Structure 1
Amino acid sequence: MQTNTLLAEQSNTQVLTVYRNQFLQDVIEGLTGSPKRLDSKYFYDANGDKLFQQIMQCPEYYPTRCEMEILKRQRGAITSTINALLPSYDVIELGAGDATKSVYLLQEMIQTGTDFTYYPVDISGSIISELENKLPQTLPGLQVRGLHGEYMRMLHQASELSNKNKLVLFMGANIGNFDTRQALNFCRQLRRQLKEGDLLMIGFDLKKHPAVILDAYSDSQGITRAFNLNLLHRINRELNADFKLRLFDHYASYDPATGACKSYLVSLANQKVRIGNTVTVEFERDECIYMEISQKYTPQEIQQLAFSAGFTPVADFRDTKNWFADCLWKV
């Protein structure tokens, strides 16, 4: 027993070391490039998770409320459409977060007698642990097996764990974290991981008045600012860096022609930042770090993306404001 425990601890240590090394490599590569950038996937440590939950409660941040309305009011229609296409399936949710929205679909599936296992996938280990502990209490009878890691690798692992058809959930407008070229590549990667008959339900934030969109990514309470700055704090803590958070500010922009809403951190002074023990990054005053994109779409652009990636659009479900769409695609 002691030997097994020691091996498990060694394995966990090795995984953490590999992850830290990749984190360090990505940060150095991003901050020594031109223009400087950081990968938004690293936003989500324990504090980042909490801050994003607060963002979703902000009055300006509409996407969560719009998608929640869809899943609350149309869960029966969504589940009926899925069940008509697939008699048997497992559910894999990419970027599950706290599953606040998907829980409505899961509940409906349980009530309709669907025999499935729920595989939440998230890069945050704390989120996965919380889901495995809490969801079976919230939804008695739900079978949960959390997968902690990168989307494609975990999707492949889920396919090895079960030979059932798959319903993949990629909601919350997470596809918007890619620019349009990256989104097409991502959807094509998803398609290669799936087999004929599998379904993908994917959430899109639709183009709308530019002011509505920009306000959502620059909230009056400053929570989005804190969320972006938290990544610098994480780099300080985990990679032995010395970012001075007071010397950076948050800036958001939106281009209604392209649908690209982008977030930046702006250096407020000429400064030098040490990363680890060997790398020093110089910042000029007003120089920006590109943090993330939130891409917006028209219905026509969504349909074209589906066909280009090798899917067939089956149905889309929209909120009453027509601001958000959860689209069901079939392989």
Structure 2
Amino acid sequence: MSPIHLELEDRPQVVDIRRSESNLDLVKEVTSGLRSQPLEIPSILLWTDRGLKLFDRYVQIPSYYPFHSEMEVLRVHGSSIVASMPADGVLLELGCGAIHKTKLILAALCKRQKPVHYFALDLSRESLVASLHELRSSFRDSSFITITGLLGTYDDCIAWLGGANSLSQYQPITILWLGNSIANMDHPEEAGAFLERFGTACKRAQLTCRFLVSIDICQKESKIKDAYSGPEFRDWLLSSLEIASLAVGYDAFSSADWGDSIWMDSYTCTLHACLAARRDMLIPLTSPIHGSQTVAIHKGDRITMIRSGKWKEDTIGEICAQAGFQIQQRWKDDDGDYGVFLLGQEARL
């Protein structure tokens, strides 16, 4: 297990918690996705080092309310949020990204003089090291923040937590999950199962587990669609094609052949962001399971890249109940379209 107390060095400490070099067979995922209906390729292709930089540029556009609303909640309610966190606990962030929001939380903890052991999980080593460098530089003079990086996936983190008995002296562990990432699951039941897996891992390590999650609860369709548009959004989606081509072994996807497309599933309150074919094309694919096969893509066909739920608060309560958590506190932006929720594990008799 990784150590808790670290010396402030020029080189941030990153602990590789990956159980293998790669838990994802990209060739299998890409080829299977293009043979499925509806068409899809894994969203992990968006989170390369280049993809993360493009995403950080995209979220800055004025119409992308999820980022700006989340920043508003953290700025306005940051003091109240950190007041709910115990001193000398563990703060584990799932996917630290560009750490704009993380800085606000850690700064608020410093202001309250609350020591915290901060762990940042990310699957990109380059992005993780860059983020940790920035954080350590920002809090170099603080004696309240200890920082460690964890290199791996969500699944790797669950396995690591299950054996992290050395963390039991730092109670409770607060899992920070921002960016509406919980609603990138296919459906609320999957999100509930995900929370439950983390809760089970923490119980195995004798850790009291809480989640601090941000959730997009906007129900205004025009506002939602405006947020997922523009050249910055398109460039981010198209960045996945280079990695998809590398996966199948040749230049199968040209960005000139694809545009961006979105549609809203009003029944599940989920936005689907897709790549849309601009012409008819044939894509030869080879995989150990299916062998060689040519997939026909027709003009207008859409490949799903991400799903982003815009869930009602009742849905969040149902997710918590499924996972053995309950909403303990909530903070919202002025429009009431975005919230940060503190989820605690229910007491079991």
TM-score between both structures, scaled by the size of structure 2: 0.83
Pairing 1:153–2:156 present: yes
2:66 aligns to what SS in structure 1? helix
Structure 1 counterpart of 2:177, which letter?
F
Counterpart of 1:25?
A: 28
Question: Moved runs in structure 1, 4+ residues, more than 6 A?
Answer: none
Preserved CA contact (<8 Å) 1:241 1:276: no
1:82 aligns to what SS in structure 2? coil
TM-fit CA distance, 1:177:
0.7
Structure 1 counterpart of 2:344, which letter?
K
CA distance in 2, matches of 1:192, 1:218: 39
The alignment covers a number of residue pairs equal to: 313
1:281 aligns to what SS in structure 2? strand
Where do residues 233-244 of structure 1 align in structure 2 (5 Å cutoff)?
Answer: 233-237=242-246, 239-242=248-251, 243-244=253-254
CA distance in 2, matches of 1:245, 1:96: 28
Counterpart of 1:186?
A: 194
Pairing 1:170–2:167 present: no
CA distance in 2, matches of 1:50, 1:73: 27
Q: Which deviates the most, 59-68 or 155-164?
A: 155-164
Preserved CA contact (<8 Å) 2:45 2:244: no
1:303 aligns to what SS in structure 2? helix
Relative to structure 1, is the Cα distance of residues 285 and 207 closer, same or farther in structure 2, using a 3 angstrom cutoff?
Answer: same
Pairing 1:199–2:210 present: yes
Pairing 1:107–2:121 present: no
TM-fit CA distance, 1:276:
6.8
CA distance in 2, matches of 1:214, 1:106: 32
Counterpart of 2:6?
A: none
Counterpart of 2:273?
A: 263
Q: Which deviates the most, 28-37 or 108-117?
A: 108-117
CA distance in 2, matches of 1:38, 1:253: 17
2:179 aligns to what SS in structure 1? coil
1:68 aligns to what SS in structure 2? helix
- CA-to-aligned-CA distance 1:173-229 (integer Å, 9 cap, x gap): 01121122322222222222223632100111013211000111123xx21111111
The structure in which a higher percent of residues are helix is 1
Preserved CA contact (<8 Å) 1:37 1:291: yes
CA distance in 1, matches of 2:278, 2:333: 40
Unaligned runs of 5+ in 2: 1-15
- CA-to-aligned-CA distance 1:87-132 (integer Å, 9 cap, x gap): 5411100011111102111122233233322111112222111122
1:290 aligns to what SS in structure 2? strand
Counterpart of 2:264?
A: 254
Preserved CA contact (<8 Å) 2:199 2:209: no
Relative to structure 1, is the Cα distance of residues 322 and 282 closer, same or farther in structure 2, using a 3 angstrom cutoff?
Answer: same
Q: CA RMSD in A?
A: 2.3
TM-fit CA distance, 1:280:
4.4
1:145 aligns to what SS in structure 2? strand
Structure 2 counterpart of 1:192, which letter?
T
2:311 aligns to what SS in structure 1? coil
Structure 1 counterpart of 2:99, which letter?
A
Counterpart of 1:7?
A: none
Counterpart of 2:238?
A: 229
Where do residues 1-331 of structure 1 align in structure 2 (5 Å cutoff)?
Answer: 16=21, 18=22, 22-83=25-86, 87-140=87-140, 141=142, 142-158=145-161, 160=164, 162-163=167-168, 164=170, 165-178=172-185, 179-195=187-203, 197-219=208-230, 222-237=231-246, 239-242=248-251, 243-274=253-284, 280-331=294-345
- CA-to-aligned-CA distance 1:10-51 (integer Å, 9 cap, x gap): x9xx955x45x6122211221122221112122111211111
Relative to structure 1, is the Cα distance of residues 153 and 270 closer, same or farther in structure 2, using a 3 angstrom cutoff?
Answer: same
* Identical columns (%): 21
CA distance in 2, matches of 1:271, 1:185: 38
1:320 aligns to what SS in structure 2? coil
Preserved CA contact (<8 Å) 1:306 1:313: yes
1:234 aligns to what SS in structure 2? helix
TM-fit CA distance, 1:254:
1.5
1:200 aligns to what SS in structure 2? strand
TM-fit CA distance, 1:54:
1.2
CA distance in 1, matches of 2:202, 2:32: 32
2:236 aligns to what SS in structure 1? helix
CA distance in 2, matches of 1:188, 1:68: 27
CA distance in 1, matches of 2:28, 2:151: 20
TM-score between both structures, scaled by the size of structure 1: 0.87
TM-fit CA distance, 1:156:
3.6
